[in-house]
Amino acid sequence: MSAVVVISDLVVSYRMADADVFALDGVDFTITQGERVGIVGESGSGKSTLGMAIGRLLAPNARFMRGDIRLGGQSILSCSATELRQVRRDRLGFVYQNPMSALDPTMRVGRQVALALRGVPSAAAIQALLSRVGLPEPARAAASFPHELSGGMAQRVVIALAIARDPVVLVADEPTASLDASIQGVILDLLASLRDSTGASLVILSHDLRMVAKRCERLVVMYGGRIVESGPSQQVFHEPRHPYTRALIKAAAGNEGPDDRLEPIPGVPPVLHGESRNCAYVDRCEFAQALCHQKRPEVQVVDGRAITCHFALSGLVRSTPAQVTPP
């Protein structure tokens, strides 16, 4: 499958009065046509920065320090403001955490959909799009103001706006975080099903590893502004190779021990003020060795999986910490 987005060596920092925060620390990430990718990691790992960078939709204090983002060969970082507007409108779709803040509260849904579609769409075309995202009474939804809809219905409208122009990539940032638990799976299923009807690649950014692993072919795990593991979801979920992935899975709902408790990851994620010179996970890693403190790990590709760990080839996470031997 061909690559639709190619991100190479991306370093993004946020300017702060005291010390700048580095949110992405050398990310290489390719999205192929029609694939569904889930990006997971704890809060602050850089998921939103990576997802929003695709549309150059970062906060005003963000700085692209290095690297590039190419969409179908076009550089997103060096295109003009006009080109960028076109790219955002015609080739990318974004779905955010809170649908109510993504919709214009003063405009009826139908009008917002009309503005998102090309040309001057008919009422039938507007309603057809609302039906595609599973709104049962599209005429009624079109005549409503956002506050008249439930959270789940409003998120369906946001998804309709995002797919109105048949984007090549749809980026959903915690698309179910503000919704009732009962509707979360349904909205994720809707997003996952759109790949088949639109052909668009789907990128879901989420805390919920299990929910995302179920619906995406590929799982990407971020930590400290880097991708630490990437590979086929089932493999990553059932046989994690990076110590952080393993810890994240053990800490995920659904993996409670016999005493009904989850095993939280001790410590807190780092806040980086520069590019890291060692492994960012070193202080929390149960397998850490001297090398991990001294040297920045490079990405290693093993069995179709990319793992950013000095010990990726050593079978480290399948052993107990005492058994680990340096590579």
Ligand X SMILES: Nc1ncnc2c1ncn2[C@@H]1O[C@H](COP(=O)(O)OP(=O)(O)OP(=O)(O)O)[C@@H](O)[C@H]1O
Does position 314 bind ligand X by CB under 6 A?
A: no
**Does 101 help bind ligand X (rule: CB under 6 A)?**
no
Query: 253: burial class by Cβ within 10 Å (0-12, 13-18, 19+)?
Result: exposed
Amino acid identity, residue 305?
A: R
* Smaller CB separation from ligand X, 49 or 289: 49
Residues 29-48 that bind Mg ion (CB under 5 A): 47-48
Rg of the chain (C-alpha set): 21
- CA–CA distances in Å: residue 83 to residues 76, 272, 323: 9, 32, 54
Closest separation in Å from C-beta 13 to ligand X: 9
Q: List the structure tokens of 215.
A: 């619906």
Query: According to CB under 6 A, which residues from 249 to 308 bind ligand X?
Result: 271
Out of 26, 38, 46, 146, the only residue in the binding site for ligand X (CB under 6 A) is 46
Q: In which element (H, E) is residue 206 found?
A: strand 201-206
Only segment of 27-35, 38-46, 112-120, 129-137 that touches ligand X (CB under 6 A): 38-46
Q: Does 246 bind ligand X (CB under 6 A)?
A: no
Side by side, which strands form the sheet with 201-206?
A: 92-95, 169-173, 201-206, 36-40, 218-223, 226-232, 305-307, 300-302
**Helices and strands per DSSP (H, E), number in the chain:** 12, 12
Residue 56 Cβ vs ligand X, minimum distance, rounded to whole Å? 14
| Residue 44 vs 297, nearer CB to ligand X | 44
CB of 10 to Mg ion, least distance (A): 16
| Residue with smaller CB distance to ligand X, 14 or 145 | 14
Query: Which of 11, 21, 71, 187 touches ligand X (CB under 6 A)?
Result: 21
Q: Applying CB under 6 A, what is the total number of residues that bind ligand X? A: 16
In contact, 41 and 223? CB cutoff 8 Å: yes
Residue 224: which of 203, 242, 249, 204 has the closest Cα? Answer: 242
Amino acid letter at 135? L
127 binds Mg ion (CB under 5 A): no
Residues that bind ligand X (CB under 6 A): 14, 16, 21, 23, 41, 43-49, 59, 61, 207, 271
